[in-house]
Amino acid sequence: MNRSLLFVQASCIAAFGTVTHASIADFETPREGFAGEIFTDNGITFSRLNDVSGMNPDGSSYGPGEYGRQFIVENATLAINDFPGVLGGAHALSFGNSFIAGENLSINVLSSFHISTGRVENAASLDMLLFENGPWGGITISLDATLGGNLVASDSFVISDLGGRDGLVGRSLSIDGVGFDSLEVSARWDDGTYAAFAGLVDNVAITPTPGAMTMLAMGSVAMLRRKRSI
């Protein structure tokens, strides 16, 4: 085998070893404040916030954009101090129409949003701080992964419905071992109708599909072999 072919194979193997590392959106680099209707942190793009209609916990309905379309980088220091195992750093992702500047914070209501990187990925996870019980009990929070518009994997939990006053709790959602090109975080009732909940999101991690770089390596080697044979 000639030196050029060995170099291509080594380069592809090296690339394969690096791209499988997860990208993590921890919202620490952006300053606190409104981040726009489409927001990207460390290669992970957040979009389509609250672009659905649904039913509130009190039975009333809401329309697209009613809870706001702006993503917000929130200084969540006080919440992070109380929930160190859930949130990290000093910032978290919030949603909607308002935020409180400084270490105090607001935890806003949302219905759904989408996450993507523009590529086919293999795994994803995120952490949430949200209200349980009270009016929120019984709502299902889901992380749905799709490929070409088709659902390929999902993870979910049901918000506790123990009655009494609502309180904050930390939860996580994850997808692993399946190719997807888009994610949706959403709140829904049992019949599939969109619902609403109040929460923050942090530590969004997305891992590329290993097979993508395997195919790149095979293609590069095959092209070089073809060129040498001409």
CATH number for the domain spanning 15: value is 2.60.120
pTM, whole model, 2 decimals?
0.82
Instruction: Label the pairing between strands 140-147 and 150-158.
Output: antiparallel
Q: What average pLDDT does the segment 75-89 reach?
A: 88
Domain count, the chain: 1
Residue in the structure block whose two tokens are 């590069």: 220
Amino acid at 113: F
For residue 209, CA distances in Å to 63, 101, 213 come to 36, 38, 8
Alpha helices in 2-145 (DSSP H): 3-19, 77-82
According to DSSP, the residues that pair with 155 across neighbouring strands are 143
What range does the domain containing 36 cover? 3-229
DSSP helix/strand/coil, 98: coil
The tens digit of pLDDT for each residue in 136-185 reads 999 999 999 999 999 999 999 999 999 888 999 999 999 999 999 999 99
pLDDT at 13: 41
DSSP code of residue 125: E
